[in-house]
Amino acid sequence: MTVLKDILSEAKNLAAVFEKTGAEVVEPDFLQISNVLLDLYGEDIRGRAFITNDPVYGEMMLRPDFTIPIVEQHMANSVSPARYTYCGKVFRRQEEFPDRPREFLQVGYEIFDGANTEKADAEVFLLVNEALNRIPVRIATGDIGILMAAVRSLSTTETRKNALLRHIWRPNRFRTLLNQFSGLSSKPYPNRNLEDYNKLLDKFEIIGSRNVYEIKERLEQINLETKTDPINPEEVKILDDLLSLKDTCAVVLGHLEKVSKKMPGIEATVNKFHKRLSYLEKNGVNIDLLDFEGSYGRTSMEYYDGFVFGFYSETQRNLSPVATGGRYDALTERIGQGKKIPAVGAILRPDLTLLLRQNNHD
Amino acid sequence: MIRLGIPSKGRLMDQTFGWFSERGINLVRSDSDREYAGRIDGIKGVQLIFLSANEIPRELSSGRLHFGVTGTDLIKEKLARFSRLVEPISELGFGFANLIIAVPGFWIDVDSLDDLDAVSAQFREKNGYRLRIATKYHRLLREFLIKAGVADYQIVDSQGATEGAVKNGLAEAIADITSTGDTLKANHLKILSDGVILKSQATLFKSLVANLSEEEDQVANLLLKKLETGN
3-state secondary structure of A210: coil
Structure-model confidence comparison of residues A1 and A222, the more confident one:
A222
pLDDT above 80: residue A193: no
At A274 the pLDDT is 98
C-alpha count within 13 angstroms, C-beta hemisphere, residue B16 = 30
Interface test with A, best of B79, B83, B85, B106 (most A CBs within 10 A): B106
By three-state DSSP, how is residue A271 classified?
Answer: helix
Amino acid at B12: L
pLDDT at position B17 is 94
Across the interface, of B80, B122, B154, the residue whose CB is closest to A95 is B80
Give the whole-angstrom CA distance, residue A350 versus residue A356.
Answer: 10
Q: Are B74 and B30 in contact (CB under 8 A)?
A: no
Residues of chain B with pLDDT under 50: none
Q: Is B63 helix (H, G, I), strand (E, B) or coil?
A: coil
CB B72 within 8 A of CB B206: no
Q: B145-168 pLDDT, tens per residue?
A: 999 999 999 999 999 999 999 999
State the span(s) of chain A assigned CATH 3.30.930.10: 1-114+346-362
CB half-sphere exposure, A204, CA atoms < 13 A: 22
Q: Do A46 and B152 touch (CB under 8 A)?
A: no
The CA-based dihedral angle spanning residues A291, A297, A300, A301, taken in that order and rounded to the nearest 10 degrees: 130
Say how far apart CA B9 and CA B51 lie, in whole Å. Answer: 8
Please give the DSSP secondary-structure letter assigned to residue B167.
Answer: T
- How far is B70 from B57, CA to CA, in rounded Å? 7
> How many CB atoms neighbour CB A176 within 10 A?
18
A→B interface, C-beta within 8 Å: 38-39, 42-44, 46-47, 95-96, 98, 163, 166-167, 170, 172-173, 176, 187-188, 190, 192, 196-197, 200, 203-210, 212, 214-215, 217-219, 222
The answer on pLDDT for A260 being more than 70 is yes
The most confident of A278-282, A331-335, B19-23, B48-52, by mean pLDDT: A278-282
Q: Which of A237, A302, A239, A309 is nearest to A273 (CA)?
A: A309
Rounded to 5 degrees, φ, ψ at B218 are: -65, -45
Read off the amino acid at residue B67.
F
- Residue A273's contacts (CB-CB under 8 Å, 6 or more residues apart) are A143, A146, A253, A256
Pick the closest to residue B108 from A212, A221, A226 (CA basis).
A212
Q: Exposure of B194 by Cβ count < 10 A (0-12 exposed, 13-18 middle, 19+ buried)?
A: middle
pLDDT, one tens digit per residue, over A3-54 is 889 999 999 999 999 999 999 999 999 999 999 899 888 898 998 999 999 9
Q: Which residues pair with A247 in a beta bridge?
A: A292
Distances (CA, A) of B176 to B51, B97, B98, B164: 22, 9, 8, 11
CA atoms within 13 Å, Cβ hemisphere of A76: 6
What is the bridge-based pairing of β-strands A51-54 and A31-33?
unpaired
Chain B nearest-CA distance from A198, in A, is: 11
In terms of Cβ atoms closer than 10 Å to its own Cβ (0-12, 13-18, 19+), residue A11 is buried
User: Are B146 and A203 a contacting pair at CB < 8 A?
Assistant: no
Mean pLDDT of A150-163: 96
φ and ψ of A212, to 5 deg: -65, -25
CB-nearest to B109 from A47, A187, A215 is: A215
- Looking at residue A341, what DSSP letter applies? -
pLDDT digits (tens, 9 = 90+) for A208-225: 999 999 999 999 999 899
Judged against a pLDDT cut of 90, whether residue A301 lies above it is answered with no
Q: Who's near A12: CB < 8 A, 6+ residues apart?
A: A87
Out of B139, B154, B167, closest to residue A207 by CB: B167
Confidence label for A362 from pLDDT (cuts 50, 70 and 90): low
The number of C-beta contacts closer than 8 angstroms across A and B is: 104
CA dist A213 and B29 (Å) reads 56
Local structure of B155: helix, strand or coil: strand
Say if residues A289 and A251 touch (Cβ distance below 8 Å).
no
**Is the CB of B111 inside 8 Å of chain A's CB atoms?**
yes
Round to whole Å and give the CA distance between B29 and A299.
53
Are the C-beta atoms of residues B223 and B43 closer than 8 Å to each other?
Answer: yes
CA distance B187 to B198: 21
A1-114+346-362 folds as BirA Bifunctional Protein; domain 2 (3.30.930)
Cβ of residue B121 closer than 8 Å to a chain A Cβ: yes
String of b and e for A20-53 (b: at least 16 CB within 10 Å)?
eeebeebebeeebbbeebbbebbbbbbbbbeeee
DSSP A75-111: HHH--S-EEEEEEEEEE---SS-TTS-SEEEEEEEEE
B42: left (phi over 0), alpha (psi -120 to 50) or beta: left
| Chain A residues closer than 8 Å to B109 by CB | 190, 192, 215, 218-219, 222
Output the pLDDT for position B231: 59
Is A245 or A226 the better-scoring residue by pLDDT? A245
What's the rounded Cα separation, in Å, for the pair A180 and A186?
6
pLDDT of A1 reads: 56
Q: Please answer yes or no on whether A42 and B152 come within 8 Å at the CB atom.
A: yes
B7 and B182 in contact (C-beta within 8 Å)? no
- Determine contact: B166 vs chain A, CB below 8 A: yes
Q: What is the pLDDT of residue B122?
A: 96
Residues of chain B neighbouring A46 (CB-CB closer than 8 A)? 138, 142, 155
Q: How is residue B92 annotated by DSSP?
A: -
**How would DSSP label each residue in B9-49?**
SHHHHHHHHHHHHTTT-EEEE-SSTTS--EEEES-SSEEEE
Per-residue model confidence (pLDDT) at position A303: 84
Q: Give yes or no for a contact between A150 and A238, defined as CB atoms under 8 angstroms apart.
A: yes
What is the residue-averaged pLDDT of chain A?
Answer: 93
Other Cβ atoms closer than 10 A to A233: 11
